[in-house]
Structure 1
Amino acid sequence: MIIIADGGSTKTNWCLVTEEGKKVYFNTEGYNPYFSSTAYIVQSLMENLPTDLEKSEITEVNYYGAGCSTDEMRNIVAEAMKAVFTKARVYIGHDLLAAARALLGTTEGFAAILGTGTNTCIYNGREVTHNIDSGAYILGDEGSGCYIGKKLLVDYLRGYMPEAVRKLFWETFKLTPDDVNEQVYTQPRANRFCASFSKFVYDNPVNIEYSRNIVRTSFEDFFRNLVTHYPNYQKYTFNCIGSVGYNFRNVLEEVVTENGMVIGNIIRSPIDNLVKYHLELAPSQL
């Protein structure tokens, strides 16, 4: 039996493929090695994997994760996987590679992630060949859920929110400015905290134009800093994975078109296409 997994900073989507070809899907939290240690990942998996999963019968694990871009970071996750799936061969890849393979299969092109975080690349049909560093959630991640959430929180802290939005924000979250600062600067996983407010932006019924402007400026920043610097970027279609790109697709399509690109695939999660890639297009990673 093999496992294929796509791990973001918030959630990991897993697919178990049995020897008979049956696919079993399940979720756990996300495991970004910049924020989660090997010990933490092991404990979380032991507590949250399906109770009927026979871990000793897994022969292969293909795990793609946020933050798994260097040997050091990949090793943090690999050691956890080896501790949990003791008889499996383990492959750890970056979630950007998962996005490219899910969106493009074996075709070259441009691929992006717009979820809790952001990333972009040029892909040659097998590997990522060009990547502009997103800067992560403190320095960059333009267009991400975290980036959108930060814009909302800054407006709240500075008193820039329209009054009706500010009232709804308070009724929804009961957060004072001090509460926000404490969560961001003293509590772990500030990226998840900030990203959680992108849902408020999406759901906000009292001032749609305000929410739309936050999203549009976020996507404009994303394009200006993380897309237009790729050589000849306009020759590619725009392909994107992630809940933010998917949920705000109408705004994203406007910005994509304004920047001279044609819309390709925009999907919420890569897991189905990633399973297809491993089973049909490139069945052997290890």
Structure 2
Amino acid sequence: MILIADGGSTKTHWCVTGRHTDTRFFFTEGYNPYYITEKYLVTSLKESLIPGYDWDEVEEVHFYGAGCAEDKYDFMRNALSKVFRHARIFIAMDLLAAARALLGRNAGFAAILGTGTNSCLYDGNRITHNIDSLGFILGDEGSGGYIGKKLVCDYIRGEMPDEVGSRFRETYGYTADELIDRIYTQPMANRFCAGFCKFITSDPTAHPYLMGIVRNAFEQLFEKLVCRYPAYETYSFNCIGSVAYYFQDILAEVAEKYHMPLGRIVISPMEGLVRYHTLTEN
């Protein structure tokens, strides 16, 4: 029995599969090792596993996660080994999951636009070049966290158009002080800010102000990250993530502006990962 996980900062998508096991998909919360403790991960995961399986029979766990840089491999491996006690555990960045899901064994450019941002060049086997997105505080241009942070800033400073500001206030009911307290003193500020992207996707008017925030975020993504890759125009822009998926019309316009054709845009890498690991096993 094999368990595959695509772990974002907000949620983790799991698939349990195998020769003698029905393939099932399920979700848990996200487990970014930069924002949680080992005890939190173990407790949360044990409470979230779907019934009907003997999880001690898992032979392999392939966990691709946001924040799973090499210095966090041991942290994740130790935590997961307390849940899946007899499994061989493989840890990799969510970026490798994106590349494998989008490109398989072909070379190209792959990116993630979800709660956070990441991108790379991939040679069909491994990541060959990665420009650090610098995370929620310093970077993550184009991400849900980046877009949400801009919305919050404009709301607190009174820079939203009146009709947008009124709808934001009615939708969430936060005062400026409550927003500042939530972001600066409570955990998961990146996830909290990214949640405000739903305010844009639910806008029935496609207000130019809101579309402008998204467009500017994507332009910053290209200026600060994508355009810094060698010969980036020779690749197509392939991307995993809800932000890329729901705003792909704007993303296509921005990519064209920077002379990069839009490639595959997929909301989740799981289907591609299952295909990748099934083919590898066979």
Shorter chain as denominator, the TM-score bin is over 0.9
Shift of 1:204: 1.9
Pairing 1:140-151 to 2, within 5 Å after superposition: 140-151=139-150
Cα displacement (A) at 1:131:
0.2
Give the Cα separation in 1 of the matches to 2:204 and 2:264: 28
Counterpart Cα distance in 1 of 2:27 and 2:100: 20
Q: CA deviation at 1:21?
A: 5.6
Cα shift at 1:51: 2.3
* Deviation, structure 1 residue 36: 1.2
Which stretch has the larger CA shift, 248-257 or 50-59?
50-59
The aligned residue for residue 105 of structure 1 is 104
Give the equivalent residue in structure 1 for 2:18. 18
1:48 — aligned with what? Answer: 48
Post-superposition Cα deviations, 1:129-165, rounded to whole Å, max 9, x if no partner, equal 1000000000000000000001111110110001111
Q: Secondary structure at the match of 1:112?
A: strand
1:163 lines up with 2:156 in the alignment: no
| Residue type at the aligned position of 1:14 | W
Q: Is the 8 A contact 1:151 1:214 kept in 2?
A: yes
Alpha-carbon distance, 1:54 to partner: 1.2
What is the rounded CA distance, in whole Å, between the counterparts of 1:204 and 1:45 in structure 2?
A: 34
Contact 1:164 1:206 in 2 (8 A): no
State the alpha-carbon separation in 1 of the partners of residues 161 and 213 from structure 2. 13
The one-character-per-residue Cα deviations of 1:25-77 (angstroms, maximum 9, x if unpaired) are 0000010000012111100011111122311110110110000012x312111
Aligned equivalents of 2:241 and 2:107: distance in 1? 20
Q: 2:106 & 2:158 partners in 1: Cα distance?
A: 48
Structure 1 residue runs of 5 or longer lacking an equivalent are none
* d(CA) in 2 for partners of 1:73, 1:266: 28
Aligned partner of residue 157 in structure 1, secondary structure = helix
> Could you report, residue by residue, the CA deviation over 1:188-223 in whole angstroms, capped at 9, with x for unpaired residues?
000011000011022123562111000000000001
What residue identity is the alignment partner of 2:79? A
Equivalences for residues 50-199 of structure 1 within 5 A: 50-70=50-70, 72-199=71-198
Q: Tell me, what secondary structure is at the counterpart of 1:22?
A: strand
Aligned mates of 1:207, 1:120 — CA distance in 2: 28
- The residue type paired with residue 171 of structure 1 is E
Distance 2:211 2:168 in 1: 16
Query: Structure 2: how far apart are the matches of 1:201 and 1:214?
Result: 9
State the distance in 1 between where 2:98 and 2:144 align: 17
d(CA) in 1 for partners of 2:142 and 2:80? Answer: 31
Structure 1 residue 22: deviation in Å?
2.8
Aligned pairs, number = 282
* C-alpha separation in 2, matches of 1:283 and 1:235: 32
Secondary structure at 1:184 match in 2: helix
Question: What letter matches 1:260 in structure 2?
Answer: H
Match of 1:30 in 2: 30
Secondary structure at 1:84 match in 2: coil
Q: How far does residue 23 in structure 1 lie from its aligned partner after superposition?
A: 1.1
Q: Residue 283 of structure 1: CA displacement? A: 2.9
Q: Which amino acid aligns with 1:279?
A: T
Letter in 2 for 1:61: V
**3-state SS of paired residue (1:178):** helix
Could you tell me how far apart the structure 2 residues matched to 1:250 and 1:146 are?
19
Q: Percent identity?
A: 52
Amino acid at match of 1:117: G
Cα deviation, 1:241-270, whole Å, max 9, x if unaligned, reads 000000000000000111111111000000
**Partners of 1:236 and 1:54 in 2: how far apart?**
44
The one-letter code sitting in structure 2 at the alignment partner of 1:137 is: F
8 A contact 1:165–1:207 mirrored in 2: no
Check conservation: 1:165, 1:206, Cα contact below 8 A: no
Q: How large is the Cα RMSD of the aligned pairs?
A: 1.1
Q: Give the unaligned 5+ runs of structure 2.
A: none
TM-score (ref. length: structure 2): 0.98
